[in-house]
Amino acid sequence: MNAEPERKFGVVVVGVGRAGSVRMRDLRDSHASSAFLNLIGFVSRRELGSINGVPQISLEDALSSEEVEVAFVCSESASHEGYIRQFLNAGKHVLVEYPMTLSREAAQGLWELAEEKGKILHEEHVELLMEEFAFLKKEVVGKDLLKGSLLFTAAPLKEEQFGFPAFSGISRLTWLVALFGELSVVSATLVERKEEQYMKMTVCLETEQKSPLTWTEEKGPGLKRNRYLSFHFKSGALENMPNVGINKNIFLKDQNIFVQKLLGQFSKKELAAEKKRILHCLGLAEEIQKLCRPNN
């Protein structure tokens, strides 16, 4: 990225929760990629007026403004698809937090719309920019997996806002696919105690080499946000994650990738591989949901 951009892309941030607030902070700081972006305003369902001098604007104004060329969609997962479609149809580039949509078919359709409009559609995956993932990738490369498991625990999430657990937890699935290649679903079960706000989803997956991987998401009051993993290889085992340092600026790293895409600095091959991985993960999540909720 050149220090002096020839032009700046006008940006609106949709949704100002945790991710949206970090995005706004990064856009206003003097980073290399932020020099290519000009934060024009934010869209929120709440009446906030302005945040740190950044004005709130209506969705209608964001869609119709010629000044706005890019939308950062940071709202709840259930609303992503609608926002992406509106902004692409209005001729804007879109960066969206994961999961892009709550179905593979919808994501495929949105990518086709982006191509038709000649716009960038970028799905954020900050979990692939974490120090832990970089450590794991280095540990796993070139090794033959015998079996593995990944358990994630956290406080409850509202399904109507964030989607079925296989979608709200898609970053864990993305880790497994990015580490071990395409996977297939062997079985999936869901235990729910709604009155206790408790759920446990257990998914048995296998690699293309038929090595078993178990992915578990457990959420309930009092459960701390934690990741437990165990990977057994022919050459030894990796049990749990060592402390590999703080994940610094992961949203900013993602913003850098997005700006590189805006500037045409990603090859078609890289873009195709990323799209294939994202669609594969969304397809797995959908299959898991159908197995856990066959009557829905």
Out of 44, 77, 103, 171, pick the active-site residue.
Answer: 171
Sheet holding 9-14, edge to edge: 37-43, 9-14, 70-73, 93-96, 121-123
Active-site residue flag, 124: yes
Q: Which whole-number Å values give the CA distances from 199 to 103, 151, 194, 282, in the listed order? A: 21, 13, 8, 21
Query: Rounded CA gap, 247 and 211, in Å?
Result: 30
- Residue from 97, 123, 218, 286 carrying the catalytic annotation: 97
Reported as a single tens digit per residue, the pLDDT across 207-242 is 999 999 999 999 999 999 999 999 999 999 998 777
- Give pTM, 2 decimals: 0.94
The active-site residue out of 33, 77, 81, 172 is 172
Give catalytic status of residue 127 as yes or no: yes
Q: Which residue has the tokens 């299959």?
A: 287
187: left (phi over 0), alpha (psi -120 to 50) or beta: beta
Catalytic residue (one of 69, 81, 124, 217): 124
pLDDT tens digits, one per residue of 84-136: 999 999 999 999 999 999 999 999 999 999 999 999 999 999 999 999 999 99
Which one from 81, 123, 127, 217 is the annotated catalytic residue? Answer: 127
Q: Where would I find the H helices in the chain?
A: 18-28, 59-64, 77-89, 104-117, 131-140, 159-162, 165-168, 170-180, 250-262, 268-292
pLDDT of residue 18 exceeding 80, the answer is: yes
What integer best gives the mean pLDDT of the chain?
A: 94
**Residue 98 annotated as catalytic:** yes
Say which of 44, 98, 103, 286 is annotated catalytic: 98
